[in-house]
Chain A
């Protein structure tokens, strides 16, 4: 079955760190761009970051530049998001997303993992 499964969410204090993981299965993970998309409670979707198949290119939304780092381990079919200096406004469900059908869109989504930044 083609799927993405996120983990690593939780409650963290402002200024803290958290590492999200996304396990991929059912498709050739290593040849596709991978992305993180988040959704604050009751709000819309926001693209956060993506990474090229070879990991050589990474892009971020301005609001997380310098604080978040996206990475991948193709041997483990896994995507990661290291989040540092977390702020209350980073509170959201974080989705892992990909495009295994090469549709230049986010064709496959995980179920999401909730990150809450609060003291």
Chain B
């Protein structure tokens, strides 16, 4: 049950695009199409922004997109906006009913 690996921090300017990676193993990310991504603002509960690797819940901006290759999933945010400044977490199903989160990535919109 090791945490998925994410970069600790990324940054970008308004209007730019950034990508956050999430690396797991063949036992979690690489085995199931069940990677999800969450956005969390300070003092708030996480919010689901991507599920089943690439799907976006209704109401979530199409500036958020997910992808996956092998044991690494990625979240891309295009057209950065000030309100995207937040923490982002990936999560994957990890067999036998368990789930594992990434360590989180702090996005700074400069």
Contacts and interface: CB of A to CB of B under 8 A. Distances in A.
Nearest to A47: B99
Contacts of A91: none
Contacts of B36: 103-106
B35 to A, nearest CB: 9
Nearest to B100: A47
Interface size class of B (residues with CB under 8 A): 20 to 34
Contact of A95 (B45, B99, B103): B45
Contacts, number: 68
A47 B45 contact: no
A44 B1 contact: no
Contacts of B38: 45, 106
Interface residues of A, number: 23
B51 A111 contact: no
B67 to A, nearest CB: 16
Interface of B: 1, 3, 34, 36, 38, 40, 45-48, 51-52, 55, 57, 87, 89, 91, 93, 96-104
